[in-house]
Structure 1
Amino acid sequence: MAGETPQSVEVVKVGFLGLSDGKREPEIVRVQLTSDSLVLQREETVYGNSLAAISSQVNNFDIDSNRERSVILRRQKSGGLGLSIKGGAEHNIPVLISRIFKDQAADQTGQLFVGDAIIKVNGVNVEHSTHDDVVQHLKNSPDDVKLTVRYYRAATPYLRAPAKRSRYSSETCNGNATVAENDTSNSEWKTPPRSPTVPLTGGRYEKRWTNILTIPLAMAALTKYQTGTDKLRPNSFEVWGGDGVTSAVLHCNDVTEVSDWCRVITTAIAAANATFIKISNDTASPLHQITHMGWMSERIGASKSFQNWKPRFVALRGEDMFIMDTPPVSQRDWVRCDRMYKLHELMCKMNRDQEVLDDRLYCLGVQLSTGESCYLSVETKEELTLWLGAIQTATHHAVRIIGRKTFGVSWQRRLSALTLDFTSGFTLYDGENKTVLWTYKFSQLKGSSDDNKSKIKLLFQSPNLRHIETQELECPSLQALLFSMHAFLSAKLAAVDPMFVRSLANMAV
């Protein structure tokens, strides 16, 4: 059946939801969630047993493409003119009739056909007009509209090809809107006049589900919030593709249905992203392995009265966290990313109920050693838990990549260098002759304190376990030192006792 999802693709869930363009009442559509895409379908009446048969018969018609025909249409209160148009001067083709709706005005004339180019509207030549210009002519016409048309056989491939950008819009010419960017070969194909010697056999009107929008799940996003705000949509949610343009707002009957659809869609998106990550990592170097990626929202603004939320694509790759406006599709996108932070030089914290800044519940703060910060949000508690675990895992991986980190410090008024080494622990070197002044394992660190400016006090268990040795340092980049110490200690502990680290992550949530 035309428009059906191929059987080779696993269908995860099917249901009927309302599709909204934000201007009209939601249209009931069939929603099919497959393993790799979200497919929206509309029930339409088509003529013929199969599109292939129709195409074959249409191509055999004996039509005089040079003959112009004039047709009078009477606009109906329901359904308008009963046709859709496509093309225009901006596409280097005339504006074409791309769809005719059964039993409506255009169909009732018996003289208009898919593939007809509109030459004139009420005597005004529009053969070289843009799509929008013709829309305005049709909208501003009286109830009786005179169309001058000419069949345009060369348009058949264009009319039957999928649109380059599949974004939901109304396609019926009803006097208020005429948009036909989504026309596909599954439209009702009202055939042009045919030669008496070529009968049209086996044809009949049938109801079929035709695809009107397909959103690939890889790097897609789902949100229950109204665009740019912290306000939840009432019983609805939005899904947009990785291009950030293709989107659909879907309406459900109740909160339970919303939760169910959001759960299965986000699970499918996560699986599609995991597949993409695996493929990318198979060809990437060990230094550029992706740990996790997906869409989050970033809060822009300092107060509840003046704030906005922006979608951000966040990726944990190698030793870095990338924050982007769009997903990376090539190696250049990684290199050109404006916001890239070293994982061992940042701290992530889940915001408790009393710490959230507005009505968004599942948020985490990212504090950078430079003093900068960003405030990120996700849709569910499970998603927040996943991100916190992924950031922790990626940080451990980053520490293993860099191996060691050295900071310029002052110890007992001597210029020195403190090195954090994943294998050996803390080592202090003399700044002049590079001799080792003291060294401790990470396991010997029993506590620390700082003045939040430049001074830090480290408490180490002595080798003989009899007393605590105190080492006081002064470091101009104190925050970077503290964050790196936390990263190295956490990575070392994870290497020794992964179960204990996982338990700490669960306790944090």
Structure 2
Amino acid sequence: MAARRTGVVEVRVHSRWYKVIASLEHDALLITVDENNFDCVGITGVHSSNGMNNGISTNSFGAAAAADINSNMSGVDDSCQLKEITSIPDTLSNGKRRVRIHKPDSGGLGISIKGGRENKMPIIISKIFKGQAADLTEQLYVGDAILSVNGESLRDASHDEAVKALKKAGKVVDVEVKFVKEVTPYFRKVSLLSEIGWQLEGMANPEPLSTADCASSRRVPLTLALIVRNLSLPLDAENRVIEIHSPDRRHTCILRCSDSHQAALWLRAINAVASDLNQKALDDTNSITGDVLDSGRVVYMGWLCEREPKAPSALQVSDTAERQCLMDRVWNPVFVALTGSELLFYDLVPWTREAWAVPVTSKPLYVIRVVANSIGRSSSRAGSTHSLSRNSPGRYSLSSGRGCSLERSSSGVSALGVAGLCSPEEFCFSIRIGTPKGVEQRVLRCETASSRSAWLRALIQGPHDCVASIKTVKFECSVGASAMECILTVHLDDGLSLERVDGVKDERHLWSHSFEDIEKSGDDGQRLLFLKFKREDIPRELDMLGSPKPAVFTLHTFLSAKLARLGLAA
């Protein structure tokens, strides 16, 4: 399948930037290293390694070594932190050197080797693991050819013979080595590629590369990956950097584009592929969760960034660079899943049934209101009012003092009106949640406009679908000077009703009203909910035994869902 986008970018490995070719495929980002144009862009400039010396080309070496067995003497996986290949001294001579290695009681030498007689190559150190025995000598380098071990020649040894010789060498190992400068470009490439990409847990990984591609390319899976800017690195003043984090956030692929325009194009393209993959992963997700989620199947999910609740407003800072730096520091990634009746928050992508069962937080959808706003907008509000009225045949309106509003015009077209649109650079929105302690606000950020639009649609439609499914929500409350215990019922079809908890069953019902009867609703922000119905002079006052906001937000959601349903039915 043809790549959706291809170009030269830089990838960051061990604090250095390397030029690579990036190709966006249908399920992953393919990173390819061209060893004939392999530049390391460091702090002091550009260091290029290519060409042919002494009759040994890096291309032919790479082909021979590709089939080798990686003998990791330390027993440590290749993903461990590696000794920098760029740390090889420029003055290192091609003469023989003798180095003594003291092997610990537990563990190995801390090296990987390649080559051997079968490949017509010497035994070459391909990796040195930091902090292990070989690294502690500070005298061995990637690219050193091992000529002998404790006096036993390895000049004509096969790969397996070299492995056996190193394993049986004892606690004190004397090696004779000679640096082979010609192979360092290849091992630099191998080291770089070993740091790129990851394997997905519990889900299908991208299609495997061909044998020829494996030597020079790695795939970065995009399914459920966190794609973000300005998270791991200091302020990207030029807005050129894109970060791709693995679902468990243990691995990162950081890209730098030639300019901000190219970065924006790459970000949109990568995000679009990732969004499609995330939705395709819903079937796998729901097969994993099964019945573990009482709130039903997952219908939408993905990564967002959440603003720290107590973070200072960046809009209060006049300097542009300082404001951007402040904004970058106050955002934390959060994985969000929308089910049939709840909004779930996780620190990482939950791969197992057990992980899905324990979200960091969960909120019922019917107490959630989405507001498309700027990050500096205050969340304080003393009360709220809503009304559903039929102004003329075929026209209904739902009004709110603030937040989202839905209106069906006489033409029969439903529209969503939102207040306080955020700037294109922020792609942020907030959700306001009615809780027993009051209104909780969570400010969230996407990385592209299309992602933001998709989340807004999901978070507006989700509560509507939720109340259409559950139909009824009940709240405990008290009424009157005697604090009579009652139950307030909100029903999608029947409206509002109030009944006593105690007493004869037939006498418990106190009153009921349709949604169209609601003239005004409000609250004092503390405990009291006020409901003014048509043909009644005095508003009804209910003590909600805590913050009235859950009831207020639930009423708003039911009104909004009712209006949306009326709009679709007409």
Which TM-score tier does this pair reach, normalised by the shorter chain? 0.5 to 0.7
The 1:154–1:182 alpha-carbon spacing in structure 2 relative to 1, beyond 3 Å, is farther
Query: In the alignment, does 2:367 pair up with 1:367?
Result: no
SS in structure 2 of the partner of residue 248 of structure 1: strand
User: Does the CA-based 8 Å contact 1:324-1:339 persist in structure 2?
Assistant: yes
Q: Give the equivalent residue in structure 1 for 2:310.
A: 302
Q: CA deviation at 1:461?
A: 3.4
Q: CA deviation at 1:335?
A: 1.0
Query: In the alignment, does 2:368 pair up with 1:346?
Result: yes
SS in structure 2 of the partner of residue 46 of structure 1: helix
Aligned with 2:357 (options 328, 335, 340)? 335
Aligned with 2:512 (options 439, 456, 463)? 439
Q: Give the equivalent residue in structure 2 for 1:427.
A: 497
Among all aligned residue pairs of Structure 1 and Structure 2, give the percentage whose two residues are the same amino acid: 20
Q: Give the equivalent residue in structure 1 for 2:97.
A: none
The 1:209–1:459 alpha-carbon spacing in structure 2 relative to 1, beyond 3 Å, is same
Q: Give the equivalent residue in structure 2 for 1:96.
A: 112
SS in structure 1 of the partner of residue 310 of structure 2: coil
Query: In the alignment, does 2:119 pair up with 1:112?
Result: no
CA distance in 2, matches of 1:366, 1:499: 28
User: Does the CA-based 8 Å contact 1:42-1:209 persist in structure 2?
Assistant: no
CA distance in 2, matches of 1:346, 1:432: 31
Query: In the alignment, does 2:33 pair up with 1:33?
Result: no
Q: Give the equivalent residue in structure 1 for 2:296.
A: 288
Q: CA deviation at 1:367?
A: 3.1
Which amino acid letter does the alignment assign opposite residue 16 of structure 1? V
Query: In the alignment, does 2:159 pair up with 1:153?
Result: yes
Aligned with 1:472 (options 536, 541, 548)? 541
Q: CA deviation at 1:22?
A: 5.8
The 1:451–1:30 alpha-carbon spacing in structure 2 relative to 1, beyond 3 Å, is same
The 1:144–1:382 alpha-carbon spacing in structure 2 relative to 1, beyond 3 Å, is closer
Q: CA deviation at 1:387?
A: 1.3
TM-score between the two structures when normalised by the length of structure 1? 0.67
Q: CA deviation at 1:49?
A: 11
Query: In the alignment, does 2:561 pair up with 1:491?
Result: yes
The 1:178–1:17 alpha-carbon spacing in structure 2 relative to 1, beyond 3 Å, is closer
User: Does the CA-based 8 Å contact 1:97-1:113 persist in structure 2?
Assistant: yes
CA distance in 1, matches of 2:376, 2:569: 29
Q: Give the equivalent residue in structure 1 for 2:444.
A: 376
Q: Give the equivalent residue in structure 2 for 1:265.
A: 270
CA distance in 1, matches of 2:281, 2:241: 28
The 1:49–1:232 alpha-carbon spacing in structure 2 relative to 1, beyond 3 Å, is closer
User: Does the CA-based 8 Å contact 1:225-1:232 persist in structure 2?
Assistant: no
Gaps of 5+ in 2: 36-57, 70-87, 95-102, 164-182, 196-211, 313-325, 380-421
Q: CA deviation at 1:259?
A: 1.1
The 1:98–1:378 alpha-carbon spacing in structure 2 relative to 1, beyond 3 Å, is farther
CA distance in 2, matches of 1:137, 1:356: 59
CA distance in 2, matches of 1:301, 1:80: 58
The 1:93–1:498 alpha-carbon spacing in structure 2 relative to 1, beyond 3 Å, is farther
User: Does the CA-based 8 Å contact 1:215-1:247 persist in structure 2?
Assistant: no
User: Does the CA-based 8 Å contact 2:375-2:443 persist in structure 1?
Assistant: no
SS in structure 2 of the partner of residue 497 of structure 1: helix
Q: Give the equivalent residue in structure 1 for 2:529.
A: 456
The 1:15–1:426 alpha-carbon spacing in structure 2 relative to 1, beyond 3 Å, is same
Post-superposition CA distance 1:302-344 (Å, at most 9, x none): 2437953221111112311111111111111111222122222
Q: Give the equivalent residue in structure 2 for 1:408.
A: 476
Q: CA deviation at 1:277?
A: 1.2
CA distance in 2, matches of 1:230, 1:493: 45
Q: CA deviation at 1:499?
A: 10
CA distance in 2, matches of 1:375, 1:423: 33
Aligned with 2:552 (options 470, 482, 505)? 482
Q: CA deviation at 1:112?
A: 2.4
Gaps of 5+ in 1: 1-8, 60-74, 82-87, 101-109, 119-125, 158-171, 185-206, 501-509
The 1:302–1:353 alpha-carbon spacing in structure 2 relative to 1, beyond 3 Å, is closer
Post-superposition CA distance 1:147-186 (Å, at most 9, x none): 64545634999xxxxxxxxxxxxxx969xx99948459xx
User: Does the CA-based 8 Å contact 1:458-1:470 persist in structure 2?
Assistant: yes
Post-superposition CA distance 1:75-95 (Å, at most 9, x none): 6629999xxxxxx98886862
Post-superposition CA distance 1:81-129 (Å, at most 9, x none): 9xxxxxx9888686223489xxxxxxxxx96245x799xxxxxxx9xx9
CA distance in 2, matches of 1:134, 1:233: 41
CA distance in 1, matches of 2:184, 2:131: 13
CA distance in 2, matches of 1:499, 1:20: 55
Q: Which moves more between the two structures, 252-261 or 210-219?
A: 210-219
SS in structure 2 of the partner of residue 214 of structure 1: strand
User: Does the CA-based 8 Å contact 2:122-2:146 persist in structure 1?
Assistant: no
CA distance in 1, matches of 2:340, 2:247: 22
Q: How many residues are aligned here?
A: 407
